[in-house]
Each structure stands twice: as structure tokens, then as C-alpha cells.
A and B are shown apart, each in its own frame.
Chain A
Amino acid sequence: MSANLINLLIQATGQTLYMVAISTFLGTLFGLPLGVFLAISQRGELLSAPWVNKVLGLVVNATRSVPFIILVVAIIPFTRAIAGTSIGTTAAIVPLTIAAVPFIARLVENAIREVDGGLIEAARAMGATPFQIIRKVLIPEALPAITLGLTLAVVSLIGYSAMVGAVGGEGLGDLGIRYGYQRFMPDVMAVVVVILIVLVQLVQSIGEWIATRVDKRAPKGRGQ
């Protein structure tokens, strides 16, 4: 493999990491509060608002039901308005974030809903405000599940980022298609796949390590 190709691979890996990192960050920034709100706005919950909950739930479902490659193309005007351009790595962050927000929101919602209702009751009995309950009880108690959820989101975003070649997003997936497939260079394809596997393994291991560190509950000991 030529030095040129190796350079391309390094560059593509950097682009993938850049897209995934920024879209994970933005996805969490918007997805976390949305997920918390989805969890606590259900009927009878802390901030019961069943109608708002239903409408937001529909929007989240609608966004999640659009195949990512179609989402990328469909929102090109929006991408141009936000990023100033509709092509390139930075522009690709827009559809990646749009896909990440509802996904992360649902993962966070599930994690929050798993928190024992008794803890919320105890906090209410202490005179906690809803915001204090979110900050001091719900998020800390759901943190192990949220961490694992975010790990899943990052892995999915690595997969999604391979599709943004369609709008000139570059990155590893794009390199694999253009060199490995269109230029018949199976060795490039193989290296791209190996790098992706290593990335996903790394993300998963780091995510699980953090989740274990923040989880202070007794080990479940299933199957011992």
C-alpha cells in the first residue's frame, strides 16, 4: 500500500472521528434534556403533560423512521442553512446530529424510566423541586444506563457516518466505497473494515468500563 493511501486512511479516520465526536456531543446536548422530558412528562409523572409528550413522541418517531441515507439527502436545504454548505465533513454533522438527537432521547428516556419511583417519592417528600429531582436523583441514578445508551449511539453514529459520502462527507465509509469498491482496491476495503471494527470495539469497551465505574448497585450475579 502506498504512502499516499496510508495518508488517506489516516485522514479518513480523523474525519470519521471528528463527525462522530461532534454529532455525539450535539446529539447529547439536545437529546438528553429531550429524553428526560419525554420520561417525566408522561401521564402521572413528575411533570405530567400527556399531550406535549404525545406530540414530541410523534416527532421523535417520525425522525427515527426515516432511513438515514434519505434523511441526509432530504434535509440538504436545512443543512445548507445551518452549516453554510451542504457538502463536506462539517456539513455531514448536521444530518448525523438530527439522527442522533431522537435516538439518544429515546435511550435516555428508557434509562430514566428505569429509576425506581420510590426514589422520586423520597425526594418529593424532602421538598425537592422537579429540577432538583432531575439533577440530583434521576440523572445520577440513570447514569450507568445512560452511559451504555450513549455507547450504543456512538457505535450507530460510526455506522451512519459511512453513508455521508453521499453528500461529500468523506470519512472511512466514503473511502471504502470510492477506493475499495469503485476502484477495485480490496485491500483498502479490508483496512477500512478493520479500522471500523477496532473503533467500535474500542468505543464499546470504553463505554462499558465507564458504566461499570459509575454503577454502584450490587452486581446482579445472574447465572452464577
Chain B
Amino acid sequence: MTSHDGQAASIIFDRVGKSFAKPGGGTVSAISDVSLTVEAGTITGIIGRSGAGKSTLLRMVNGLERPTSGKVLVGDQDVGAAQGVKLRTIRRDVGMIFQHFNLLSSRTVSENIALPLEIAGMAASDIKARVADLVERVGLSAQADRYPSELSGGQKQRVGIARALATEPKILLSDEATSALDPETTQTVLSLLKDINRELGLTILLITHEMAVVRDIASHVAVIEGGNIVEAGTTYDVFTAPQHPTTRSFLSGVTGVTLPAFIKDKITQQRPETGGEEVIRVTFAGKHATDPMLALLTRDLGIEVNILAGAVEEIGTRPFGNLLVSLDAQRGKEARAYLERHGLLTEVLGYVG
């Protein structure tokens, strides 16, 4: 990968919009005014619910969808404006893997991987050597002459990955590549993608509806909702200080920190006049992630803290903790001010009487 340049932007969405004609007149907007820069060599995740427009956005990178406004640049090429040979040349520089693998049932593993090379017009003898390398790289040497129907889901996605890498692309697009796989297989596929990113310097743009996928491999993340990017940044920043409600709701599913049922059932948004407990989410990030902040709170202010749920995780190599605690409702404000002064993030979830 000589063309790889760690600084250059790999994909630029510049005020991109996409609307479809509605049957019976009018238009539906799928994407509106999206600007996003994907740096070369990064793994960037676009997360959103189904119908949020993430799939449309991804497909603009290889011209399977064309923007109705704005520009999508890959390297220095305007994909939306490219036609014919020019578009096909760009496409050979952009590999793609799919949720349902999209392997040809009539071809063996090797023959499936050879397909993009045949399409690019490579000589049969060169194809053979290249395919053997790729089969080896994804660990399917023993299955090289099997048909897709004889493979497991994880093996099929490995074939998909090998096929996408065949033409030595600079960018790999992943369309919910692990959504049809079980958790264990998902991990092996994700670590393969991570290896590829590291060893080949490949830029990976993936879409998913699972925050866990983003946490496990993405260095950058963009959250899409209703055709707009509502939040974007490094995965660590977005995880530790989510700004948008959609981001928070995705995160609550992945951080493994949710209120126990017995609290959830009686929590209210109204602060009791006297007594009661305030339930707070405390997020530890950066250098405070490992400090014993709750013990300090009790020592300095004499406020006792009751831990309801919590976890400390790593994003990349940086620790990040998430605790749900309850404390005296009448002193909640004071406690939160103390914690925020020490660089922690707090969020009031409600009160219990």
C-alpha cells in the first residue's frame, strides 16, 4: 500500500443530500446536508437505526447511490459525477462487504474470490496466485474448493472480506457485516477487519446499528438520525461525553449499565420535598477513570453513595467507567458539582422516594 498517506482524507461527504421521488408526486429526503470527513487509515463507524439513512450514505461512496445534492469525494475523485469506465475504476479501489455476504452460490470459495479479478481483466495465472494468498490470509485454505452452502456464517463473511480485498482497494465499506452473525463469530470477523486495517493501512467505513461494533473496532464514529449526522468524533469522546439523546440511547445498550428493575419501577422525575434518593449516572473518563472519586466524595462532603450498577471498560487502550449511583436527594446538587469539578460527567436519571 504505497499510496497510503496517514494524513490525507480518504472520503469526504460535502453537504450531501439524497431525495427520492415519491410515487404520486413529491420527494422523500433520505439524507440531508451531511458533511463528514473520513481520514485515511481509520476505522470509522456510522451508527443509526434502520431507516436513518446510513445505508444510503455508505452506498454513495462506491456510486451505488448518487447524491442529489452536494459531493462525495473518494481520494480526489467525485464519485457522484463519475460515469462508465471512470466509475468502474473508482469501484475497483473500493471493496465492499455485506450483511448477507452476497456470495455466488454457483462458485467455490476460490472462484468467488476470483470474481472481482476476472471483472478487472486479470490474467488467469495471476488470479490463481492472488486468490491463494487471499484464501490463506482469511484462514480458509481448507475450504478453498467448497461452495458457500457448505460454510458457516463466519466463514462466508471471511470469503466476502477476501473477495473485497482482491483488487487491493484503499477503502473497505462494510454494510452491517456482522449483523447476521452470532456474538462469538462477530468478534472473530471484527478482529480480522482490525488486522486488515493495521496491516494494509486500509480505510474502513462501516455502518451498524450496534454500538458494541463501534466500541470494538472503530476509532471514529458518526451518529445518524433522520438523514442527519447528529454527532461525530473520536469513539472515545463520543462514548465518554455523548451530546445527543440518540447517541445516549445507543450507548445505554452497550455500556452494560442499566438500572436494576427494582429501581426502574419506582423512579420518578419529581424531586421529593424531603428525604429520598437521587439516581445519577457518573461517567469517568480520561485520567480520572481510575481515581477513587466516590470514596473522596464521601470523605470530603460526608455524602454516602449507594452503587446500583457499573462497569469500567476500555475503548482503544483508554479506560472509561460508567456508574449508576444513588445518594441523598437533598444534597444531590452539591455532590454533582463536586464530581464535575473533578472532571467527571454526571446525569440525573430521576428520584426514588
Max count, chain A CB within 10 A of own CB: residue among B62, B102, B148: B102
Kindly list chain B residues whose C-beta atoms are within 8 Å of the C-beta of A214. Answer: 106
Q: Are B104 and A141 in touch, CB under 8 angstroms?
A: yes
A217 to B119, CA, bound (A): 23
Are B96 and A125 within 8 A (Cβ)? yes
Which of B87-95, B232-240, B291-299 faces chain A? B87-95
Asked if A118 contacts B98 (CB within 8 A), the reply is: yes
Which residues from A are CB-within-8-Å of B107? Answer: 140, 216
- Asked if A129 is at the interface (CB within 8 A of a chain B CB), the reply is yes
Q: Is B271 an interface residue (CB 8 A)?
A: no
Q: A119 contacts B104, CB within 8 Å?
A: yes
Contact of A124 among B91, B95, B115 (CB under 8 A): B91
B8 within 8 A of A: no
- In the complex, what distance in Å separates the CA atom of A217 from the CA atom of B149? 6
- Shortest Cβ distance from residue B148 to the other chain A in the assembled complex, whole angstroms: 8
Q: Is A85 an interface residue (CB 8 A)?
A: no
Q: Is the CB of A121 within 8 A of B119?
A: no
> Would B147 and A216 count as touching, CB distance under 8 A?
yes
Q: A114-131 CB contact bits vs B (8 Å, 1 = yes)?
A: 001011011111111100
A137 contacts the other chain (CB 8 A): yes
**Are B149 and A218 neighbours in the complex by a CB distance under 8 Å?**
yes
A123–B119 contact, CB under 8 A? Answer: yes
Residues of A in contact with B, size category = 20 to 34
Known: A122-B102, A125-B62, A125-B91. A216 touches B118 (CB 8 A): no
Instruction: Say how far A99's CB is from chain B's closest CB, in angstroms.
Output: 30
Answer yes or no: A167 CB below 8 A from chain B CBs: no
Q: A118 contacts which chain B residues (CB < 8 A)? A: 98, 100, 102
Given contacts A125-B64, A127-B91, contact A136 B102 (CB under 8 A): no
| Interface status of A205 (Cβ within 8 A of chain B) | no
Instruction: Count chain A CB atoms within 10 A of each CB in B91, B104, B120, B173 and give the residue with the most.
Output: B104
Closest-CB distance, B215 to chain A (whole angstroms): 27
Q: How far is the CB of B90 from chain A (nearest CB, A)?
A: 8
Interface residue B105 (Cβ < 8 Å from any Cβ of A): yes
Residues of A within 8 A of B92 (CB): 126-127
Q: Choose one: B90, B91, B118, B148; the contact of A136 (CB below 8 Å).
A: B118
CB neighbors of B among A5-33 (8 A): none
Q: Are A140 and B102 in contact (CB under 8 A)?
A: no
Determine whether B70 belongs to the interface, using a CB cutoff of 8 Å to chain A.
no
A128 contact set on B, CB distance < 8 A: 88, 119
A143 CB–B CB distance under 8 Å: yes
> CB-nearest residue of chain B relative to A117?
B102
A151 to B116, CA, bound (A): 33
B167 at the interface (CB under 8 A from A): yes
With A and B bound together, what is the CA distance between A137 and B118 in angstroms? Answer: 12
Contact assessment for A119 and B102 in the assembled complex, using a CB-CB cutoff below 8 Å:
yes
Shortest CB distance A96–B (Å): 31
The answer to whether A216 and B119 have CB atoms under 8 Å apart is: no
Residue of B88, B147, B173 touching A127 (CB-CB under 8 A): B88
Min CB distance B150 to A, Å, is: 8
Minimum CB–CB distance for B155 against chain A, Å: 14
How far does the Cβ of A175 sit from chain B's closest Cβ, in whole Å? 42
CA distance A124 to B87 in the complex (A): 10
B104→A140 contact, CB < 8 A: yes
- CB-CB under 8 A from B95, the residues of chain A are 125
A132 at the interface (CB under 8 A from B): yes
Additional A-B contacts beyond A124-B64, A128-B88, A140-B107 (12; CB < 8 A): A116-B102, A118-B102, A121-B98, A125-B62, A125-B91, A125-B94, A126-B120, A127-B88, A140-B106, A141-B104, A141-B105, A214-B106
Give residues in B with beta carbon < 8 Å to A: 62, 64, 87-92, 94-96, 98, 100, 102, 104-107, 115-116, 118-120, 147-150, 167, 173
Residues of A in contact with B (beta carbons under 8 Å apart): 116, 118-119, 121-129, 132, 136-137, 140-141, 143, 214, 216-218
**Could you list 10 A-B pairs, sorted by A, with CB under 8 Å?**
A118-B102, A123-B115, A125-B95, A125-B96, A125-B173, A127-B116, A127-B120, A132-B119, A140-B106, A217-B149
